[in-house]
Structure 1
Amino acid sequence: MSSPRALLPRSTPAASGVSSRSIAAMLDRLEDRSVECHSVMVVRCGHVVAEGWWAPYSVERPHLLYSLTKSFTSIAVGLAIADGLLALGDRVVDVLPDHVPSDVSEQGRRITVHHLLSMTAGHDTDSLAEAWGLEPHDLVKGFLRVPFDAPEGTRHTYDNATTFILARMVERVTGVGLPELLDERLFKPMGIEDAEWDRVASGAAFGFHGLHLRTEAVAAFGELLLRGGLWNGQQLVPRAWVELATSRQIDGRHQAEGDDGPDFLCGYGYQFWMSRHGFHGKGAFGQHCVVVPSHDLVVAVTGAQRDVQHAQDVLDAVWECLLPGVGHPDGSRDDELLADRLGGLSLAQVRGSAGPRRSVTARLDASAESSALPDGATVVVEPTDAGWLLRLGSLLDLEVGHGAWRESSPLGRPVVASGAWQGGTFVAELHVITSPHRVRVAVDADAGTATATWVTLPLTTSDLELHLRSPLMTRPDVA
């Protein structure tokens, strides 16, 4: 796979006034807290000074951003407002009249773009599941049917449905899809060529999640925000919108998809979180775009963080380890040591032996809630020269390496896998490499049974087959 075109210039930590030891200390902190990272990029004064990927993740791979997608939707709203097509005071019922329930409440009639952007519509909890349960084919209508618990504009509640509605409003007034709008107005001018979008069953982009971007594209987005929407001399996003969206609009309430910590009590902007230093966009399982204007600094991180506290751990590592080193560079030898460390990052491969070299057929037990495949599916392990061929059902033939990563793309999106025999059990870990997620497969050769469970259960669907199709077409499961 060829290396993608660089979006940002490169430098060394010392040349950009950053301590390479402080970056190493940040990595140490994340390791000590068992924070699983897939990539990290540090940008100072517009230059990438440190970058690394934990194999099998790599520079050219886009990564699912989950709710960090919301910050991009905010920019799309700002573009529509700048074009005079939308205003902060515009009401949902006026822009999307065909999605208004006949019994809409008076408060529902008053919900505006501002309320959606700041997540202050008045629901006490995330309305997404209830709204989709009420109206499986019309989330906008379902949102307006969910009872409100507080007056609009008075209280922030993290609410995914608000961003979905913003995406639909932008599409209505501009006449183009959200991905197409951002591609034309933001991504192409920035040189971002590989954006992917997951979609709901109708084909519309989620808006509140589902964007896949390379780590450097996330860092470049942070740099664009840091420069007030200016990119290579071109004002892609109005400075006034960037300043408004990334400033505090309402108090935070500890409801960032379960996150807890001081940086989620600093306030909420327009689909951005305020921080103790600057602001940030954040997605589930550890997708971060941290912008610190006071230090001319951007930090982009992707990962698969299983503990909700890890979101705060990442921010703490930036504040307590990295920031003290800004303005205090080390020597060239320290820079070299850091570069060597960043170049050798890797997640652990499955440990065990290469034998026995025989084929095994088993039936899948899907009793675990986190099962990635249906009950009774056939699982076959066949030895090859480079490892194994793992057959999951009738559609998924995946290559698994021993002591090495092996890649295959049976349905479009790639899977990178390693495996080994551990006694009488064959174990493989399948990384859905454009996402935070992986599946652990265990095949008991003697019993003829197998399991395939998500290490981190996706928020959309547990069906592995859907995650291997591009785009993923689904919607959040509704109980």
Structure 2
Amino acid sequence: MSTPLEDRIALGVRARLLEGLHAVVVLRGDETLAEACFPGEDQDWGRPLGRVDFTPDTLHDLRSVTKSVVSLLYGIALDRGLVPPPGAALLHCFPAYPDLARDPARAGWTLAHALDMTLGTEWPESLDYTDPDNAEIAMERAEDRYRFVLDRPLAEPPGTRWTYCGGASALLGRIIEDGTGQRLDAFARDALFGPLGIDAFHWHAGDDGALSAASGLRMTARGLARIGQAMAAGGRWNGAPVIPEAWLARLRASRIETGFGPGYSGQWYLTEQPAPSGPVQVMAGMGNGGQRLWVAPETGLVAVAFCGAYDRPDMWLTPTLLLQRSILAGLG
């Protein structure tokens, strides 16, 4: 038997108000409020898959929600003393580029500038991802992706403002790998996915063999929701600590303005969403095509949406309607 929220979501899909929705999971604490899948056209990291009949076991692109997962991996590695803290000099983590470290304009970079996407470099990622001039696409095709990111022209001093930058996430991924001595997928399996009982995932690598920390992760909706559940529980799963509570607190305590609505902190968006009982503070991972992980720690609410509106200007519409008119509208 379906739940009231599942009925409301299915009605939205039939009415084409939630166009392109592939999968949704909504949890509050241990209660499943909704879990549903819908067929639709999909991609695998840009490769067309045609029409897919989604099930709870189907892997789906996270796209830039990958960045938010990488942030949690950094927090875990930081808690274990394996990576430098946010205030450490960024270029000290890349000793292969002494020429860049000698540049006074770059010497002030810290890991926090990468975490918060305030490096101050020119990074045209607002271009379509099919455009070779898109900075993330150019990075993926570069001979040395890390030099490509670190050697970009400077547009303004570090920390001046937020500029969306998949290259910053690539730097964090490399720092995690260097500090842990493991590839990102292996460290994720050992430190995050395994403890949460997540065994179904895939992490795409670029042509250079480096795993994409910006967009390469594929998971099931339920698997991604487990990460949200742990976050909503202060980083714990079945009572055992998995994600450091101090890292989650840091993510929520700082806020960089993005200029388009939500704030930003450590590869996560911070939003305030309307609900019948009053505004709800939400942490969000957001990815191309309408991929979302929403976590509202005060209410214990966790929601995942997978969609197929890749590279479309209205890709935000279905997840926004889903969250505001279906999920939050039904909260007591």
Q: Tell me whether the two structures share a fold, i.e. TM-score over 0.5.
A: yes
Contact preservation (8 Å) 1:126, 1:160: no
Q: Which amino acid in 1 is paired with 2:8?
A: A
After superposition, residues 454-473 of structure 1 pair within 5 angstroms as none
In structure 2, the CA distance between the partners of 1:312 and 1:76, relative to structure 1 (3 Å rule), is: same
Equivalent-residue separation in structure 1 for 2:201 and 2:160 (angstroms): 36
Which AA in structure 1 matches 2:76? L
The answer as to 2:225 corresponding to 1:228 is no
Q: 1:125 Cα shift?
A: 3.5
SS in 2 for 1:25: helix
Listed one character per residue, the Cα deviations across residues 208-266 of structure 1 (whole Å, up to 9, x for unaligned) are 11111111001111111111211111111110101222444200133xxxxxxxxxx12
Q: Is the 8 A contact 2:140 2:207 kept in 1?
A: no
Relative distance call for 1:180 and 1:12 in structure 2 (3 A) is: same
Q: Residue 90 of structure 1 aligns to which amino acid in structure 2?
A: A
Distance in 2 separating the partners of 1:133 and 1:162 = 11
Q: CA RMSD for the aligned pairs? A: 2.4
| Alpha-carbon distance, 1:54 to partner | 1.3
1:249 aligns with 2:255: yes
Q: CA deviation at 1:271?
A: 0.7
Give the structure, 1 or 2, with the largest relative contact order (CA under 8 Å, sep 6 or more).
Answer: 2
In the alignment, what sits opposite 2:161? 155
Kept in 2: contact 1:192–1:217 (CA 8 A): yes
Give CA deviations for 1:92-134 in whole Å, capped at 9, x if unaligned.
2111111454586322222211000100101254466289479
Which one-letter code corresponds to 1:33 in the other structure?
Answer: L
Alignment of 1:157-172 (within 5 A): 157-172=163-178
Query: Counterparts of 1:91-106 in structure 2 under 5 Å?
Result: 91-101=89-99, 105-106=103-104
Q: Using the alignment, how far apart are the partners of 1:65 and 1:130 within structure 2?
A: 16
Is 1:324 the counterpart of 2:308? The answer is no
Structure (1 or 2) with the greater helix fraction: 2
Deviations along 1:10-62, one digit per CA (max 9) or x if unpaired, are: x985xxxxxx1x55334444543352011111111222221111131111111
Tell whether the 8 Å contact from 2:203 to 2:216 is kept in structure 1 after alignment: yes
2:32 corresponds to which residue?
48
The letter of the residue matching 1:157 is: T
TM-score (norm 1): 0.58
Question: Which residue of 1 is the match for residue 115 of structure 2?
Answer: 117
Q: Taking structure 1 as reference, are residues 122 and 185 closer, same or farther at Cα in structure 2, changes over 3 Å only?
A: same
Question: Structure 2 stretches of 5 or more lacking a match?
Answer: 40-52, 126-133, 274-281
In the alignment, which residue of structure 2 is the partner of 1:290? 294
1:210–1:243 distance in 2 versus 1, CA, 3 Å: same
1:82 aligns with 2:79: yes
For residues 174 and 308 of structure 2, the distance between their equivalents in structure 1, rounded to whole angstroms, comes to: 29
The answer to whether the 8 A contact 1:65-1:212 is kept is yes
Shift of 1:315: 2.3
Secondary structure of the structure 1 residue equivalent to 2:160: coil
Q: Residue 283 of structure 1: CA displacement?
A: 1.1
Q: State the partner residue of 1:474.
A: none
Write the distance in 1 (CA, Å) between the matches of 2:136 and 2:62. Answer: 24
Q: What secondary structure does 1:171 align onto?
A: helix
Q: Distance in 1 between matches of 2:101 and 2:179?
A: 25
Partners of 1:12 and 1:76 in 2: CA distance: 35
Q: Which shifted more, 174-183 or 98-107?
A: 98-107
Tell me the residue number matched to 1:268.
264
Larger Rg: 1
Question: SS state of the match for residue 275, structure 1?
Answer: strand
Structure 2 CA distance for partners of 1:130 and 1:210, relative to 1, 3 Å: closer
Aligned equivalents of 2:183, 2:92: Cα separation in 1: 19
Cα shift at 1:295: 2.9
Relative to the length of structure 2, the TM-score reads 0.83
What is the aligned partner in structure 2 of residue 354 from structure 1? none
Contact 1:104–1:145 at 8 Å: present in 2 too? no
Aligned residues: 300
CA contact (8 A) 2:140 2:206 kept: no
1:106/1:33 Cα in 2 relative to 1: closer, same or farther (>3 Å)? Answer: farther
CA distance in 2 between counterparts of 1:225 and 1:27 reads 28
Contact 1:289–1:299 (CA<8 Å) still a contact in 2?
yes
Q: Which amino acid aligns with 2:292?
A: H
